[in-house]
Structures are given as C-alpha cells and as structure tokens.
C-alpha cells in the first residue's frame, strides 16, 4: 500500500496527493495525519489535490473527516488545487465538505492559514 507523504512547512502540514487514493490509502492518510498533527503541534493542514482527477463519495467524505479531525486538534484544513471536474462531482454527490476551506493554489492556501511563505531563490527576502 502506498503512503501519502506529509511535509512540515513552519506550523503547517502539507499533504500532496499524487496517487490514486484507494480506500486503504485514504484511511492510512487520516491516521498518519492525526499522528503528525499531534507530534508537530501544527496549526494548519493543506491538502493539495492538483493531481486528483476523480473523486468518489468515500474520498469526498475522507476530506471532510480530515477537516473535522484536524479542527478537534486545533488545526485548520485548506484544500488547494481542486479541478473543476472534481468540484462538480463533489456537488453532484451532495458533499458539502463542511469545515474545509479551499484555495486555488498552495500560495493562496498558505495565505488563507496566515502562514508565512518560505523564501526561495537567491537573494530572497524573509518578511517574517
């Protein structure tokens, strides 16, 4: 079974889903993410679904479950990179994803969480 990597950027955990989420992978992600929130004390979770082409009702509910679980552990969830087809499917399935905020891309998701963006490149200035 594949595992979805969870990266730490400051006080935010970044989950970049690059594989087709099978039910077991999604369940493992929930467990791994809960453990990482507790271990790191993260205050935000960003789930990047840019590479996700299709969702079903189970995966849609999984996003809502992750958001609820994160909120109980004092971490806000933002989903970034949602494709129009995925948004349409979620609406057609009647999944509101309550408690999940969304942003078009990672940069906007970080801003939504109030997290500083990492400086990149030569001569980058850190504005923290």
Mean pLDDT of the chain: 86
Q: Which residue has the tokens 């479950």?
A: 65
pLDDT of residue 122: 59
Length of the chain equals 128
The tens digit of pLDDT for each residue in 64-117 reads 888 889 999 999 999 999 999 998 988 898 887 777 889 999 999 999 998 877
**Is the pLDDT confidence value at 118 over 90?**
no
**Is the pLDDT confidence value at 54 over 90?**
no
CB atoms within 10 A of CB 122: 4
Tokens of 87: 């948004």
Give the full edge-to-edge strand order of the sheet including 12-16: 6-9, 12-16, 44-48, 76-80, 101-103
Q: Are 116 and 128 in contact (CB under 8 A)?
A: yes
Strand-pairing partners, residue 101, are: 78
Tokens of 121: 């490149």
pLDDT of residue 121: 55
Strand-pairing partners, residue 102, are: 79
CA distance 81 to 94: 20
CA distance 98 to 107: 22
């Amino acid at each position: 079974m594949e595992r979805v990597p969870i990266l730490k950027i400051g006080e935010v955990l970044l989950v970049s889903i690059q594989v087709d989420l099978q039910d077991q992978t999604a369940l493992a992600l929930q467990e791994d993410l809960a453990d990482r929130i507790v271990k790191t004390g993260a205050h935000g979770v960003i789930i990047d679904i840019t590479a996700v082409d299709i969702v079903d009702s189970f995966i849609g509910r999984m996003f809502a479950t992750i958001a609820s679980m994160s909120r109980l552990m004092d971490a806000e969830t933002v989903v970034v990179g949602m494709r129009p087809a995925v948004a349409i499917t979620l609406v057609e399935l009647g999944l509101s994803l309550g408690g999940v905020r969304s942003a078009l891309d990672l940069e906007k998701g970080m801003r939504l969480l109030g997290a500083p963006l990492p400086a990149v490149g030569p001569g980058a200035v850190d504005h923290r």
